[in-house]
Amino acid sequence: MLPVRDDEHQERFDYSHYIANICLSEPFIALKRELERLYGNSGEDDINSSRLAFQDALYAVISEHDLEFKKPLAMFSKG
């Protein structure tokens, strides 16, 4: 029996691929490191500042790409 892949599954797969590419990109990594440095100097604990830096860097890059969730990913480059 072959696995069934519906449209919803494919959309999730495409988004996870897109986000993984963002998270492995040099601009994302550089921004995350800079935010970790800034947040680390603010007195937050390391785990919280790292998580917040990751979250903010991901948000910034997604916003820069003007990615809107719930739109078909085919509208955006899959870079």
The per-residue pLDDT for 20 is: 95
Which DSSP string corresponds to 18-53?
A: HHHHHHTSHHHHHHHHHHHHHHHTTT--HHHHHHHH
Query: Is pLDDT of 67 > 50?
Result: yes
Query: Is pLDDT of 74 > 90?
Result: no
List pLDDT tens digits, range 7-56.
888 888 888 998 999 999 999 999 999 999 999 888 777 788 999 999 99
How does residue 79 score in pLDDT terms, banded at 50, 70 and 90?
very low
The per-residue pLDDT for 61 is: 92
